[in-house]
Structure 1
Amino acid sequence: MVSVCTTCKGLQKHLQALGSGIQETNSASLRWLSTTLPSLRCSTNEGCRACATLLQGILLHHDRFVGVKEERIRISAESFHQSGSTPSRQDTQDHLSVEVRWKEPGDDCYDGDEHGHDQVYPDLKLEFFTDGDGQSPFSAIGRGRQISENPLQDSGLSMARSMINECLSRHSRCRRTKPTTLPKRVLDVLLEDGSKGIRLHESDFDYDEQRYEFGEFLTLSHCWGAGRSVLKTTSKTLQTHKKNIPWSTLPRTFQDAVVLTRALGFRWLWIDSLCIVQDDSSEKLRASTHMDDIFTNSFLTIAATSAAESTDGLFLPKARPFKIQATDSKGSLYRIYVREQPPHYSFKAPFNEGAHMNDWELPFNPSEEANLQTPLLKRAWAYAERLISPRVLHFTKSEMILECREGYQCECGRIGDSVFDSRTTDSVKQEYARIISENEVRGDHANGNNNRIDSVASQLAATSLTDADKGISKRREEAIQLWSYIVTEYTARNLTYDADRLVAIIGIAKTLAGILQSGYIAGQWTFSTLGLLWHPNDSALCRRPNNVSQNIPSWSWASLEGSPIFFDNLMAMDLACTASFPSERGRSPAWSPTTGDALELTAAMATEVTFRVDGPSEYSLVKDGISVDFRPDISPPRGEDSLESGETLICVLVSMTFRSSIIGLVLKQSVSSAQTYRRVGRFECYECQRDGTDEEPNDAESLFGHWFPEIEDMTQLDDGPQRTFIVV
């Protein structure tokens, strides 16, 4: 009788019925082994052909764990049940998944807990599979999903069309409800002269008069890179480009986008650098504030997701699977393929699924590896384009990924299936689409202004926290919470020009304005005072924008660069603080990014405090011997935010949160005018300490009695004396 390998059971499915101990981890998969790399070597040396195949495939990726002690490398393998009794070829996932885990030497996160370690996404995940005939000496290794080497080949185009058709046929939010209009300029990629060149088509188009030319078009989202190689339309080249743009002048990414547009059967393509006159500042601003019209109307956004430069092209070389020769018990040769499972990059979080969006760790996936492999996803403009577009076809170094308003599809077929990839999938785009779609279905835009909400945005109002809390609808709450997530992600991404800070997000704001029914100034929705309680994730990385012409007010999150911005939108108690904006701003262009607005902040609980430097990057606010920790917006404070120890500041209490903390704003008197103030920070008090004593710190609520002893009844704050500050 032939002995069966105790490590892997020979990777033979029929042994499952013999009570071999193969573990059924869940209804969809079978666990074949859980061992260490030295044990796998030992089993290989003892003659197990299956272990030898696994070992060979793992060592082909040895560069991933160079320097790691082999005894710290753990290996597990599982295969998957077919979905349904007669699964289609498209759904077949018959490969063997091998997970390799290790911790880098000196990593403090590793505590030797194997069970906890196994819950973390593996450091390396490999797929062992056969080619189309499915022949293998090991029944646990079956056919794998093919990934096209070139999306322009028949198999690649077929996959792209299949994903798009799946989206159109199954997703109601992704379908067109009315004819689409062309932007002011688009590229005509189907010239009648038969040349490979293209030309710039200028339609009879006017935003204000609502004159449009109808047609389906695609858009390109790409990294400009250093900018030297990007072909642009200028006032000098405009007329020439309307006649012909020679093929040889197009950078590789543009050429690939044109070829793909033609292959998918479309005539029109929009590329920002060619369809906007780049040396006309007024046109650039006008086009930028109408990005929502362009990308919402686009049938498909082509995303050069892994290209850092316009010369890189869409279709970057993919790593080919390794080939392994394996034999059966009779000595017959078989070919086994092994590749790293497509990583899905920044579309997946570093944490497992199941976490609600409110509990997500933001930014969603800031890992250096993800950013390196998908540079486009690190760009702020591209983030806005991605959210607004009905569907985005991402071209990455590993596969094509279609992201739409209802989910994801990919060539490997695993991005949206937790059986194959347990990490949480970035669903902000889908949540964004759901909120907008549900609002449209309810008929909130019955006046026909679904995409023309300038009049709503110009209604600037003074609204108290109490009014906002009581009057806001569930949809409004969802929308403002979503806006907070979007701003955090947006500010975690890069912009080449500070002047674009408020411009690049206008398209998203316009699409949400119909739900929020609020004025919008400098990134702030005027109905929500809580929106002023933003704070940078790391004030040590922050600076004020270099572009002084916009004069972004200090109370706006857009006034800081360098760090993701977070918000506090939930409170347990309103501390009678209201914010209002000058009513004359309502007569200004609704979506102009030009700012400089003053904010009138009226508060029942505002007091003078002393700023104190306690150490390097350590600061506090002191009054009557009671101190609380303070983190300024910029650390160390400098420029217009400079602060000296002993300086008097104004502390305005805004709300008490469900975290049992008190949150407020810290203001500094403006140098230019004694009547105005600038925001220099936000503080959150969890506890307060009496200076010069060893007493236990008091909880946050005791701060009211220490700093505001004159207030005897907290329920009567609205009726008591209040102070107003003009914040610029």
Structure 2
Amino acid sequence: MVSVCTTCKGLQKHLRSLDGAFAQEPEPDSLQWLTTTLPSLRRSTNGGCRACAVLLQGILLHHDRFAAVKEEDIRVRAESLNAPAAAAQDHVSVEVRWKGLGDCCDGDEPAHEEGYPDLKLEFYTDKDGQSPFSAIGRGRRISENPLQDGGLGTARALVKECLSRHSKCRHAQPTSLPKRVLDVLSDDGSNGIRLHESAWDADEQRFEFGEYLTLSHCWGSGRSILKTTTKTLESHKKSIPWLDLPKTFQDAIQLTRALGFRWLWIDSMCISQDDNVEKLEASMHLDKIFSNSFLTIAATSAWDSNDGLFQPKPQPFKIQATDSKGSLYKIYVREQPSHYSFKAPFDEGAHMNDWELPFNSSAEANAQTPLLKRAWAYAERLLSPRVLHFTKSEMILECREAYQCECGRIDDSTFDSRTTDSVKQEFARVVAENEGHRETLNGNGNNSRIDSVAYQLAATSINDAAKTITRKREEAIQLWSYIVTEYTSRDLTYDADRLIAIAGVAQALSESLKSGYIAGQWTFSTLGLLWHPNDGGRCRRPKAQANNIPSWSWASIEGSPIFFDNSIAMDLACTASFPLERGRSQAWSPISGDTLELTAAMATEVTLRVDAANEYSLVKNDVSVEFRPDVSPLRGEDSVAPGESLICVLVSMTFRSSIIGLVLKRLESTSQVCRRVGRFECYECQRDGSDDEPDDAETLFGHWFPEVEDMTELDNGPRQTFIVI
């Protein structure tokens, strides 16, 4: 009788019945072959198991990933999938872990391991699927170049799948070209291109119809990137020599041609870069440029325009294996694409409210997908109906309803339980709910006016319409807060672009929010003012702002992701109004702002105390509350001396049983004109000099506002008004 390897069962599917526990299939969608340590796998290999030898060899071919780790600390798990989702591929997946394993059990069996493995490999055969081990079958091919060896067919298949299955990704009407596009099918016999100026239809108030692609890319230093300027505009309309184009542009043009399109929009080429008025106008129409694009080509792994669109991909290793008769077979092993920034470090099923934001800011993700770290590219990604990402591992199609990739695993929990970033899909859902309604109200859908709530109510019952608008607003403002957090975690080259780059996203959400919008703030939401930087120690106020960004706007802070508080358990009778909206008109001022008037029932003067380096408290009546300013240490226009008075305005209580408010600094000692210096959240308050346990947050009302006897009567009590600039 032939002995069977107790470690891996010889990777033979028919032998799993020899192990009763193995036959029970501890996981319904997979077959586990081994869970062991690297030294144990070596011992089994030395004992003559050919299957363990193949696994060991494949792991050691990636030894550079764990060269500094002791072998006894490395644990290995191998499985193959036994679910319908795995029908197109039949590889063996091997997980290798060495970080954060925690306490382990005796022997070779590890304790429960959570999170994505440190290294995940796949062992597979080529097309014929022949292997001496029945567990190792065919794999899924990843193209080396989308313009070669079937890669173009894969790209087309990804797009076709999106168009055939996703209604939100299709354009309901013919799309207009942007003001300028590149004509990549020039008929002058050269390989060059030319800049095309679209014909304007004055009656329809649009440019000529046409389908086009867009390019999203990192400029890099910007010094060598080819640009259109007022001086080169006329010559670019005649011809742009091929050799003048950076590699990323050349690759994008070749792909556009190969996919059968004539028009391509590239920002540096289609916008006159020394015309500030034109640049601002184009930025304000970013939502139309990218949302009307058929496909956005994303140079996701390129650091600048000279890197090229198609990054070299690591090739799989080949291992020779023999069967019991000595026949040779080829087994391939490669690192499974990790999908970098598209996957979170937590499992699928976590609600968006429970996400760790920013979504995935790991060093590996940033290094492998530098485009996703750029703020402009984030806005372009949200607005596009579909984005074809070119990464160092594979092509990934991200659209308004799903993800697809060459390896077939990115959006399938069978292969990867981690959740996929779904903010784009949520954004598309919220926007899509209002598109048909907007076209009905505005006729041609091109009116930029934000329709009044009263106009909506005319078509239906007041109660039903009010509930619908409230629900949509709540969903949209929550989504907006996530988007701003993600957006502010990304990099901008110029401070002046802070509000410009996100204006198109705000325009797309304006129908859902039915609100004025000033300098990043939706005017209906006082809670939107309760933003706070994740780390004030990394923050600064821009020294010279090209636009007027007031201190109350989140865009006035640079250097840290911005977070929001959008839900409250109790309103403390604080309201915000904007002079721009007097007369009941809804303001649309996306890149600048002025004053706001903050009217509050609970506002008081407190004293700033410095407890230690960059540690502050607010004190009144010998009761102190921790305070984290927007910029730490307090400096510049935020400078406050120890012992100086500040104004603390209470806004709400939260479901966390905390009190939240704004902290303002008077410009003059008797003036009601103030600047914001921070937000505070009180979980507990402490009487100075007392050794007693701190009191709960709500006791702050009695300590700081002893004159307020009935909290339920705040709306009927006296108010104070502050002008915040």
Normalising by structure 2, report the TM-score.
Answer: 0.95
Counterpart Cα distance in 1 of 2:655 and 2:214: 44
Aligned pair partner of 1:261 in 256, 263, 268 = 256
Report if the CA contact (8 A) 1:625-1:690 is conserved: yes
Quick one: percent identity of the two aligned structures?
Answer: 75
User: How far has the Cα of 1:422 moved from its partner?
Assistant: 1.0
Partner of 1:431: 426
Partner of 2:88: 92
Counterpart Cα distance in 1 of 2:443 and 2:283: 23
Name the aligned partner's letter for residue 91 of structure 2.
Answer: H
Specify whether residues 525 and 186 from structure 1 end up closer, same or farther in structure 2 by C-alpha distance, changes over 3 A only.
same
Specify whether residues 206 and 484 from structure 1 end up closer, same or farther in structure 2 by C-alpha distance, changes over 3 A only.
farther
Report if the CA contact (8 A) 1:524-1:531 is conserved: yes
Aligned pair partner of 1:636 in 623, 633, 637 = 633
- The yes-or-no answer on 1:282 pairing with 2:283 is no
Once the two structures are superposed, the pairs formed by residues 253-402 of structure 1 within 5 Å of their partners are 253-402=248-397
Aligned pair partner of 1:528 in 497, 521, 525 = 525
Specify whether residues 72 and 322 from structure 1 end up closer, same or farther in structure 2 by C-alpha distance, changes over 3 A only.
same
- The yes-or-no answer on 1:676 pairing with 2:677 is no
Report if the CA contact (8 A) 2:550-2:556 is conserved: yes
- The yes-or-no answer on 1:564 pairing with 2:527 is no
User: How far has the Cα of 1:441 moved from its partner?
Assistant: 4.8
SS for the counterpart of 1:473 is helix
SS for the counterpart of 1:234 is coil
Once the two structures are superposed, the pairs formed by residues 187-226 of structure 1 within 5 Å of their partners are 187-205=182-200, 210-226=205-221
Report if the CA contact (8 A) 1:456-1:519 is conserved: no
User: How far has the Cα of 1:427 moved from its partner?
Assistant: 0.4
SS for the counterpart of 1:409 is strand
Counterpart Cα distance in 2 of 1:673 and 1:186: 57
Aligned pair partner of 1:236 in 228, 231, 236 = 231
Q: Note the residue ranges of structure 2 that are not aligned, 5 or more in a row.
A: 455-464
Once the two structures are superposed, the pairs formed by residues 75-224 of structure 1 within 5 Å of their partners are 75-81=76-82, 83=84, 92-103=88-99, 110-112=102-104, 118-205=113-200, 210-224=205-219
User: How far has the Cα of 1:82 moved from its partner?
Assistant: 5.1
SS for the counterpart of 1:118 is coil
Partner of 1:51: 52
Counterpart Cα distance in 1 of 2:169 and 2:79: 35
Aligned pair partner of 1:612 in 575, 595, 609 = 609
Q: Which moved more, 1:168-177 or 1:663-672?
A: 663-672
Q: Which moved more, 1:585-594 or 1:118-127?
A: 585-594
User: How far has the Cα of 1:120 moved from its partner?
Assistant: 1.5
User: How far has the Cα of 1:591 moved from its partner?
Assistant: 5.0
Normalising by structure 1, report the TM-score.
Answer: 0.94
Specify whether residues 508 and 207 from structure 1 end up closer, same or farther in structure 2 by C-alpha distance, changes over 3 A only.
farther
SS for the counterpart of 2:84 is coil
Specify whether residues 456 and 498 from structure 1 end up closer, same or farther in structure 2 by C-alpha distance, changes over 3 A only.
farther
User: How far has the Cα of 1:26 moved from its partner?
Assistant: 2.8
Name the aligned partner's letter for residue 67 of structure 1.
Answer: A
Q: Note the residue ranges of structure 1 that are not aligned, 5 or more in a row.
A: 460-467
Counterpart Cα distance in 2 of 1:227 and 1:385: 19
Report if the CA contact (8 A) 2:495-2:545 is conserved: no
Q: Which moved more, 1:20-29 or 1:355-364?
A: 20-29
Counterpart Cα distance in 1 of 2:194 and 2:670: 55
User: How far has the Cα of 1:25 moved from its partner?
Assistant: 3.7
Deviations 1:277-317 (A, max 9, x none): 00000000000000001001000000000000100000010
Counterpart Cα distance in 1 of 2:17 and 2:150: 38
User: How far has the Cα of 1:175 moved from its partner?
Assistant: 1.1
Partner of 1:16: 16
How large is the Cα RMSD of the aligned pairs?
Answer: 2.2
Deviations 1:311-332 (A, max 9, x none): 0000010000000011111111
Specify whether residues 200 and 444 from structure 1 end up closer, same or farther in structure 2 by C-alpha distance, changes over 3 A only.
closer
Specify whether residues 625 and 315 from structure 1 end up closer, same or farther in structure 2 by C-alpha distance, changes over 3 A only.
same
Deviations 1:79-110 (A, max 9, x none): 012518xx8xxx5120000000012xxx6x84
User: How far has the Cα of 1:612 moved from its partner?
Assistant: 0.4
Name the aligned partner's letter for residue 544 of structure 1.
Answer: R
Counterpart Cα distance in 2 of 1:299 and 1:318: 27
Name the aligned partner's letter for residue 80 of structure 2.
Answer: S
Counterpart Cα distance in 2 of 1:69 and 1:8: 23
Report if the CA contact (8 A) 2:201-2:208 is conserved: no
Specify whether residues 208 and 672 from structure 1 end up closer, same or farther in structure 2 by C-alpha distance, changes over 3 A only.
farther
Deviations 1:571-615 (A, max 9, x none): 000000000000467899965545241010000000000000001
Counterpart Cα distance in 1 of 2:246 and 2:92: 41
Aligned length: 711
Aligned pair partner of 2:650 in 650, 653, 663 = 653
Partner of 2:442: 447
User: How far has the Cα of 1:648 moved from its partner?
Assistant: 0.2
Specify whether residues 228 and 587 from structure 1 end up closer, same or farther in structure 2 by C-alpha distance, changes over 3 A only.
farther
Report if the CA contact (8 A) 1:450-1:514 is conserved: no
Specify whether residues 302 and 582 from structure 1 end up closer, same or farther in structure 2 by C-alpha distance, changes over 3 A only.
same
